[in-house]
Amino acid sequence: MNFRPRTQDEPEINLIPFIDVLLVVLIFLMLSTTYSKFTEMQLKLPVADTDAQRDYAKEVIVAVSADGSYSVNRVPVAGRSMASVASALTEGAKAGKDTVVIISADASAKHQSVITVMEAARRSGLNQITFATQTSAQAGGQ
């Protein structure tokens, strides 16, 4: 009979896998975090320097004013709903689905007004959309 006490192994905590998991989580958080502060940005849009303005034979020009009113091919749109803009775009699109929608929005127009025009164009089946801008030389003169 063996009456000697058995030696128990001390439990050992291995920290290396724990540190590996923490480093992976830290890298994930560093990559997914954005550090930009939108409240400090001051933007003046739209201005673009282009070589020459393209002429589209089949185009509909939608103007968006600063107060959110619309006009399609220089004809004011009654109302500010998406349905009224979509019906005006359908009437103004003489070439059908090949018509290019040119959005000419005021620089201080609300973003939602421009999105409304884009959604109305999509509902009307007009998929070619571009934006009208002015050159930086024209913007400095105003």
Show me where the domains of the chain are located: 59-133
- Could you list the pLDDT tens digit for every one of the 142 residues in the chain? 667 777 777 778 888 899 999 999 999 988 887 665 544 445 455 555 655 555 555 888 888 888 888 988 888 888 888 899 988 888 888 777 788 888 988 888 888 999 999 999 999 888 888 888 776 655 555 5
Backbone angles phi, psi at 96, to 5 degrees: 75, -135
pLDDT of amino acid 41: 43
Cα 103 to Cα 91: distance, rounded to the nearest angstrom: 16
Q: Are 139 and 113 in contact (CB under 8 A)?
A: no
Distance CA 46, CA 134 (A): 7
* Domain 59-133 grouped into CATH 1.10.3720.10: no
CB 111 within 8 A of CB 82: no
pTM over 0.85: no
How far is residue 98's CA from residue 121's CA, in Å, rounded to a whole number?
Answer: 12
